[in-house]
Chains A and B, each alone.
Chain A
Amino acid sequence: MHLPCRTFNETYEQDMAVFRTRLQWVLLAVGIALGLCVPLVTGTYMLTIVITAMTIIIAALGIQLLTGYCGQISVGHSVFVAVGAYASALLVSQAGLSFWIAVPLAGIVAGLIGLIVGLTSIRLKGFYLIMSTLAAQFIIMYVIIHWTSVTGGSFGMAAPAPKLGAIEFATPSSYFYIVFVALLMATYVAKNIARTSVGRAFVAVRDNDLAAEVMGVNLTAYKLLAFFIGCAFAGLGGALAAHGRGVITPDSYTLIQSFWYLGYIIIGGLGTITGVFFGVIFVSILNNGLSAILASLSTVFPGAGSLLAPLMLFIFGLVIVLFLTFEPRGLAHRWAIFKAYYRLWPFSH
């Protein structure tokens, strides 16, 4: 569906290809090349925003697989981001492991913790599962805050910058490349999980778990797998964010953050990998753009900052509400319509 004009799939490989046409490959190459150039053309501030957005995308890919594909709603996603962050920092600073080993391990640790939380999904679904993941948010954060000897408690802990031989990735411009590569790999993995039998099983569970079970889908196994994968992505994103920032504090992983992860995939489009990108980028641009506009207006109207700041929040909320009202299927759907229109142009039918 939605293949460009005069493009026909004749083999299974062609049918399964993510990038089907030469133009798509060229666009991918150009996109990666442009991405690699980002640190060269932007300043540190912009780069910090971009790195933050990329780590959020990696974490949000997890909740997209868990909630968007498998239908297991989690309102505790940020706590798995925290688990990854703390696990990685501890593995590097306490266990002496290399960053390159610690970060994937942190993802696995977060996945395993997610697996434990996911055990409740065997018996629970819908609102009850939401309550279960909500409990996980509070329980795990309680442990993090009160296990002071290990986590530093409310004060947080340092997350050392990665090193590769003599090269230290301590600045945003160098750290960008690590996160960029991680994002490409995470996207590749997530996209392929979604396209394989695992992804199809997730969708079957989401759409009608009874029907899925009748068709032979092992509900227990796939729900747990979804929790493991989803939380592993969260942990990976959290670990990368932590080492980039250099310090971890529990205040970064609140319930509000968990709701935002759901918000990203709802705004971007549930059940699509591209939707994650759209959702995070949209919110990031809106948030930082409004902050910048506020700063500019405060310069033009000195002293008006305290009046304008709540107005910016109002605009932020209004845009989100309007957006969800008029495009409830997310930006990814709008993008799909645009692509279809472009491919069929000038024939709209």
Chain B
Amino acid sequence: MSKTTRVGIFVLMAILLVALPLAGCKEAAPSGPQEGVIKIGLLTDLTGPIAASSVPGLESMEDWWKYTNEELGGVAGHQVELVVFDAKYDNDLAVTGFEKLVNQDKVHYVWCACANYQPAIKPLVDRYHMPTSGPTEMAVLLPHTPDSFLFGSIPHYADMYRCSLTWIKDNWEGADPPRIGIMGLDAPFSKSTVKPVKWMLENELNWPIVAEEWMTMAATDVTSQVTNLKNANCDYVLMPLTGAPQLIFQKTAYAAGLTESTRLIDIFITMMMSFRQLDPEATTGLMSHSPCALLQMADEVEAIGLIDQIHKQNRPDAPDLDWIRIVNYGGAIAINDIFEKAVDKYGYGGLTGDNIKWIMEHKMKGSTARGLLGPCPWSTETHAGYHDNILVKTTPDFGLEILKLWQEMPPWPKGAEEVDFWRL
């Protein structure tokens, strides 16, 4: 290589090193909200292992706010601006991103798309009094404490299983109690689901847990787990899994014939059209639970028609509305309603974190995001997320058979108010 080329490359590198910080890393003083603009930060994953669910969620968020700004003239007359930060499924990057959203972009509210980030950003959320919620449960921080600014937008997964197991109890016709298997994932959300569910099985239902298997987020082979579950002759397998591990488990379970004799109960991911399209057979016949109204409920929930229209208009080539899209629309509408109420009470100048939190805890209780989500407690009395669920079963044609509409979660015992109740 000639000296000129080497010098050229070096100069190029030097320019990059100078240009990149100038372009982005410098503290952008004027990037705070323009007068009258409501800024919402989105801490999400546009790349990484769960981008498959985060990207459709982001699209739905963007579509709702575009509709709000263009068709409705904004929220209470104020345009809404979204600021996106790609945290790449990296906790450290999520912390940096949260700092950026709060201190550089000066957002009024943060939508945190990933449950794993919640423990990492929790100290910052509370330090900056930045109201933060997401389409995920509060895996770590139950119960919601009065001083916390971190909220959930759907029930805890254990709450959802509580609904499912209650439904099974009401509909079980066998002479002996159902045999339960558990397929857990080595991740906070899954562990905090398994422990209370086991408590319910052992102390309330007295159903035998005949197999308990675990897998890691990086697992590529779950043959032994599936074999053990199959040999245990489970009637139901509870599988609080997500993403690639769930797909691997389902494919293996299908290939091994586990799904012929056993009904798998997942959390909600099988409802994602993109996920199901990867392997429709492996996702057929699963039982699931949804904290949000589904496309099949267009007759019951008026907002389904509206968001379906927005979705088709903006994403003509995308799959139909699925769980991840609807729950993000629901989240956006909930935020929309929060800011309408906050502006009404405090005015634009009063949109502080403390005031927004007050609105969430006092004015949003029972809100359903126009019927899209189960009623939201968002109070300090109990869990931070919505409580009611729809129970569904997947069908071969990608449809969903609705087993029960908006089943209310039975209350947990008093011990559930302790964080340790949820930690495995």
What's the minimum C-beta distance from B52 to chain A, rounded to whole angstroms? 11
Q: Is the CB of B23 within 8 A of A154?
A: no
User: Which of B80-88, B235-243, B367-375, B387-395 interfaces with chain A?
Assistant: B80-88
- Chain B residues closer than 8 Å to A294, beta-carbon distance: 86
Q: How large is the interface on A (under 10, 10 to 19, 20 to 34, 35 or more residues)?
A: 35 or more
Provide the residues of chain A in CB contact with B188, threshold 8 Å: 153-155
Closest CB-CB distance, B110 to chain A, in whole Å?
14
Q: Is A289 an interface residue (CB 8 A)?
A: yes
Tell me, in angstroms, the Cα distance from A52 to B100 when the chains sit together. Answer: 14
CB nearest neighbor in A for B44: A305
Q: A286-B20, A293-B23, A295-B24 are in contact. Are A249 and B120 (CB under 8 A)?
A: yes
Q: How far is the CA of A252 from the CA of B94 in the complex (A)?
A: 11
A148 and B424 within 8 A (CB): yes
A residues 169-185 with Cβ under 8 Å of B? 170, 172
Q: A43-B104, A293-B20, A298-B84 are in contact. Are A288 and B25 (CB under 8 A)?
A: yes
In angstroms, Cα B100 to Cα A281, docked, is: 19
Q: How far is the CB of A81 from chain B (nearest CB, A)?
A: 11
Of A43, A145, A148, A295, which is within 8 A of B84 by CB? Answer: A295
Of A17-25, A200-208, A218-226, A306-314, the segment with at least 4 beta carbons within 8 Å of chain B is: A306-314
With a CB–CB cut-off of 8 A, which chain B residues contact A286?
16, 20
Say which residue of B86, B127, B192 sits within 8 Å of A291 (CB atoms): B86
A305 touches B84 (CB 8 A): yes
B424 and A310 contact, CB distance less than 8 A: no
Q: Does B66 contact A (CB under 8 A)?
A: yes
Say whether B23 contacts A296, CB under 8 Å.
yes
B96 CB contacts on chain A under 8 angstroms: 45, 48-49, 52, 288
Q: A43-B27, A45-B99, A291-B24 are in contact. Are A252 and B92 (CB under 8 A)?
A: yes
Cβ of A213 under 8 Å from chain B: no
In the complex, what residues of A have CB within 8 A of residue B26's CB? 46
* Contacts of A293-333 to chain B: CB distance below 8 A: 293-296, 298-299, 302-303, 305-306, 309-310, 312-313, 319, 322-323, 326-327
- The smallest C-beta distance from B8 to any residue of chain A, in angstroms, reads 10
Given the contacts A45-B100, A252-B91, A153 and B191 also touching, CB distance less than 8 Å: yes
| CB-based contact B21/A285 at 8 Å | yes
Give CA–CA (A112, B127) in the complex, Å: 35
Most chain B beta-carbon neighbours within 10 Å: one of A48, A251, A286, A299: A251
Q: State how many angstroms separate the Cβ of A59 from the closest Cβ of chain B.
A: 12
Contacts of A195 in B (CB 8 A): none
User: In the assembled complex, which residues on chain A have CB atoms less than 8 Å from the CB atom of B186?
Assistant: 145, 154
**Dominant secondary structure of chain B at its interface with chain A:** helix
A305-B86, A309-B46, A334-B10 given; A292·B23 CB < 8 A: yes
Per-residue B-contact encoding for A30-55, CB less than 8 Å = 1, 0 else: 00000000000011111011001000
Nearest A residue (CB) for B128: A44
A293:B24 contact, CB within 8 angstroms = yes
What 1/0 flags go to B24-65 for Cβ under 8 Å of A? 111100000000000000000011000100010011001000
C-alpha gap A160/B6 in the complex (Å) = 49
A104 in the interface (beta carbon within 8 A): no
Whether A309 contacts B86 in the complex (CB less than 8 A), given A251-B116, A302-B66, comes out as yes
Contact between A249 and B119, CB atoms less than 8 A apart: yes
Measured CB to CB, the closest approach of chain A to B301, in angstroms, equals 26
Known: A45-B96, A302-B66, A326-B1. A288 touches B84 (CB 8 A): no
CB-CB nearest in chain A for B185: A154
| Cβ-defined contact, A306 with B20, below 8 A | no
Task: Tell whether A156 is near chain B: CB-to-CB under 8 Å.
Answer: yes
Instruction: Name B's A-contacting residues (CB within 8 A).
Output: 1, 6, 9-10, 13, 16-17, 19-21, 23-27, 46-47, 51, 55, 58-59, 62, 66, 82-86, 90-93, 95-97, 99-100, 102-104, 116, 119-120, 122-124, 127, 139-140, 186-188, 191-192, 423-424
Selected A-B contacts with CB under 8 Å, 6 pairs: A45-B99, A49-B25, A49-B96, A291-B93, A305-B46, A306-B58
- Listed from nearest, the 7 A-B pairs whose CB atoms lie closest are A292-B24, A289-B20, A309-B46, A246-B123, A43-B27, A44-B103, A154-B188
Which A residues are within 8 Å of any B CB, using their own CB?
A: 42-46, 48-49, 52, 145, 148, 152-156, 158, 170, 172, 245-247, 249, 251-252, 282, 285-286, 288-296, 298-299, 302-303, 305-306, 309-310, 312-313, 319, 322-323, 326-327, 334
Given contacts A155-B139, A306-B59, 12 further A-B contacts (CB under 8 A): A48-B95, A153-B188, A156-B120, A158-B123, A246-B124, A285-B21, A285-B25, A286-B16, A289-B21, A305-B58, A305-B86, A306-B46
